[in-house]
A and B are shown apart, each in its own frame.
Chain A
Amino acid sequence: MPSGSEPERTAIKVEDLSVTYKTSIERRPTLKEAFKRVGRRERFIHEIEAVKNVSFEVPRGSVLGIVGANGAGKSTLVRSIAGILPPTSGRVEVNGRVSTLLALGVGFNRKLTGRENVTLGGLAAGWSREELAHKYDDIVRFAELKKFMDLPMRTYSSGMYGRLAFSVAVNMDPDILLIDEALSVGDARFKRKSFRRMRKLCEADSTVVLVSHALQSIKDLCDHAIWMHEGELRMWDEPDAVIDAYTEFLEVGDDAVTMEDV
């Protein structure tokens, strides 16, 4: 229901994005160490260029897959699309309501119950109490965790954890859903269920960005894929082509292990 203006067909536009951050390489930064260092004139700051000059676009209603080795900058890229990490240079333009996963900080405090985590995560993401009450039952039903919502999240298995996070994210009715390595945690049945749900979102003109090591999932679900390598965009193409190039790069061939989970 665009009011007046032409509906924007590009959901996400990333232009020449670089994200560099400084991080301390001390295991645990302390004042004591900082004082001790003053005399020695050392600085334990390390710059990480997590994302370097990346540009791509995601049209509305499509699924973009992101593949790449550990430390390739995939998560940083997704977080800068979500507005969590600011660009160092370049520009990110996002049209629509964003929902991130593993998102909403669900499970941010493992001592709290599932219910408390959903409530706090939802309120932090900007939901009102009414919206939250309205959607709470749907979230619990989709996650199939009715019996566990009043238990502390430390008692959850990683699968249950992922199911709850996914359920919260899709039930926000997002225009843009960002999923970072989440589908590997559910069992096969939940995986199928979540695929169906994501397709439904896309039919409703939502956009999905999916980071996954499960290459088969990328092939099945995505309309486009990008391959990140050491912060740079190696390839942006059809999923099959990107996956083929990526698996060849990994030199492990197209065997079932890589296709499912590495």
Chain B
Amino acid sequence: MAVLISKEKCKGCSLCVKACPFAAIDMVEKKAVINDKCTMCGTCVEACKFGAIIKEEETKEKDLSSYKDVWVFAEQRAGVITPVVFELLGKGRDLAAGIGGVSLCAILLGENLEDMTRQLFEAGADIVYTAESSLLENYTSDGYTKVISEAINEFKPEIVLYGATHIGRDLAPRIAARVNTGLTADCTKLEIDPETKGILQTRPAFGGNLMATIKCPDHRPQMSTVRPGVMDKAPVEAGRTGKVVPVTLNLQESDIRTKVLEIVKTAKDMVSLTDAEIIVSGGAGLGDASGFDLIRRFADKVGGVVGASRAAVDSGWIDHSHQVGQTGTTVKPKIYIACGISGAIQHLAGMQTSDVIIAVNKNPLAPIFDVADYGIVGDLYKVIPELMEAWK
């Protein structure tokens, strides 16, 4: 398989050189030439206006027809199924429908699996493969890799989905290596290619600056990890049941080389501005220091950190450590909520690359609205309580 550039069609315009994320194209005597760094991502194919670049596909005839069904790894900790599993079952159902004629299954490891099995059926699993053993009570790389790999070899699923949790990201690569198949991490979109019935996995790379759609044409199972909160949860159908299939268990204590000495849950520590996922910021529009009481409550409600504009800090309403902006801290949270902040360039410099910006200000001309994804013109003392009420 290779990316080929037609010398005749190449006009030497260098568009492909600029488009390549890996600096894999050089201009040699006014013609584009692919070098060692090529990863076959195909970005150049799309960029070329003259159709001079093609990706040559190798057609391997491999018989993969014995692989059927969509599996979801039902991660559980201390008898509680991790929420992402229900999202995977929701997406798994779509994938199974897209392929047609296959079952949606879950694979569950641990102890005392009855109640969890019931939950999995109610969330849409047709079959639950179980592996019950005291050795599997807590997650270990060795134990879970061995059991699931052997189950995969025994039952041959065509797709296996895992949550991209700390467990999933430890487990899935190890299984993929043991079973000699491909794994795509942190998928944000999963679809079935209607022609091949294979999975198309879309995921972010380059820190989110580039999206890639990946396929796994010649190996089975096709495996993906999916971040929590990306897919929709499966609807729950109370009372629904299915088939329980215990896997053949060959696990011994000596198979597990690590020992879990302790598992500890910690309360969330004070998060700094730079690490915060959500920031609720207050500015001059608050009117006085007491306005920050509302901001703090809002921040607590949404699990965020309190920020402030320079104007608020200079007025002595809040400590400088909360200041966001040119002469404060630069932040890049998932959600930045600017309340009563006009959006002077010195403030924007510190937060405009946030993923989502929500602004509340009573002045419709406030520059903050130029960078906000969602802007509400209004009295923040009326709008914020409503936002807090509606926030889930």
Mutual binders A and B: no
Which residues of B does A touch, CB under 8 Å?
A: none
